[in-house]
Amino acid sequence: MSTFQAPKGTYDLIPPRSAVFLAVRDTIATQVRNAGYGYVETPGFEDVNLFARGVGESTDIVTKEMYTLTTKGGDQLALRPEGTASVLRAALQANLHKQGNLPVKLWYSGSYYRYERAQAGRYRHFSQVGAEAIGAEDPALDAELIILADQAYRALGLRQYRILLNSLGDKECRPVYREALQTFLRGLDLDEETLRRAEINPLRVLDDKRVDVQKQLVDAPLLRDYLCDACKAYHEQVRELITAAGVVFEDDLKLVRGLDYYTRTTFEFVHDGLGSQSAVGGGGRYDGLSEMIGGPALPSVGWALGVDRTVLALEAEGVTLDLPAPTSVFAVALGEEARRVLFGKVTELRRAGIAADFSFGGKGLKGSMKDANRSGARLTLVAGERDLAEGVVQLKDMESGEQRAVALDEVLEAVRAQLA
């Protein structure tokens, strides 16, 4: 065993489980690509102020969980704790909003980092696939993203998840609610840190998971009762559109999520088979984030779906993804001349788009056939000196056990026909 281990709260993805993670990413990505979202990739670290301003200085992410560093040049950087702020920064820097096609629709996939208490389903390094629609205020966009996430989970075979939905109001009606909530919170028996948080952003307190805090919040004023007419109408349109699409959701009047930039629509996908870390994905509208980070007014909406949490949800439901075997053809060479010839055939198959592998290390027939079995290959090519003298190789079907001789110059056609 190596002297070194993966850092606490992180994990290595290795075969065969890594293939499940790739399949989850690909399935989610397929949904958003089909809806016109283009791929964007951002650095793993950003200016620390991008997250302090955008995510919110009162959030646990900024105050407790960010990995920060100072460069030799004195720059303050942070490993990205989430994706939205980085994607919006990249879109603004590239002036995508000035090219006339709003909304700018982008999707991304990558690793994110938070210094959290490590436990099942909550890691310090985690993987997400996200989608953002930048520059348009339209309830149909909010609905589109919720529907796309729902389609992704259903395409994976998940069924035991719930969609929670709420509206957080806007800059017109939220200040009135904020003041009412702060007045309520000041009358509670809360610790000094929670009271300080309540003065910066009282909605953060609603997201507090401690039982003693939640008990005191039972009679807290609800944002629903303070929404302006415009926000009520907007939210109702979102609800109508996703209902018409056959997407089932639950109204959660206390759903605020852990980021300060959300406005109006906010939603979360939760899975009851994951214990306390039940959220598998979520998102919402963030109409003011662009201005927070120095850009123009660009109303936007998006989500991020956790790949790690989604895999755990699949395992909790006992869902096994139908993954293609990584290798379709495995070549076993007996003797030096056979090694040269079959290695050439493997290269030919790969160039034709057929997944092929080779028995490396000169293990002999028995050891090489064990490798062929472990590879999951449907077909095996076997050749020795006698085969080559006759100008053939043996093509074996690993499922049926049937084996036949195939001329050397007909291997590609024979493999294609048998795999089809």
Pick the CATH number of 329-419 from 3.40.190.10, 3.40.50.800, 3.40.50.1240, 3.50.50.60: 3.40.50.800
Lowest-confidence segment of 82-91, 175-184, 197-206, 324-333 by average pLDDT: 197-206
- Model pLDDT, residue 259: 62
Pick the CATH number of 17-173+227-317 from 3.30.930.10, 3.40.50.280, 1.10.287.110, 3.40.50.300: 3.30.930.10
Confidence category of residue 274, pLDDT binned at 50, 70, 90 = confident
Which residues make up the CATH 3.40.50.800 domain(s) of the chain? 329-419
- Model pLDDT, residue 319: 95
d(CA 361, CA 234): 65
On average, the pLDDT of the chain sits at: 91
Residue 83 or residue 199, greater confidence = 83
Which residues make up the CATH 3.30.930.10 domain(s) of the chain? 17-173+227-317
- Model pLDDT, residue 222: 87
pTM assigned to the model: 0.89
Q: What is the pLDDT of residues 308-323, one digit of tens each?
A: 999 999 999 999 999 9
- Model pLDDT, residue 400: 93
Q: What is the pLDDT of residues 391-415, one digit of tens each?
A: 999 999 999 999 999 999 999 999 9
Confidence category of residue 290, pLDDT binned at 50, 70, 90 = very high
Confidence category of residue 58, pLDDT binned at 50, 70, 90 = low
Mean predicted confidence (pLDDT) in 322-338: 93
Confidence category of residue 62, pLDDT binned at 50, 70, 90 = confident
Lowest-confidence segment of 42-51, 158-167, 205-214, 290-299 by average pLDDT: 205-214
d(CA 91, CA 254): 32
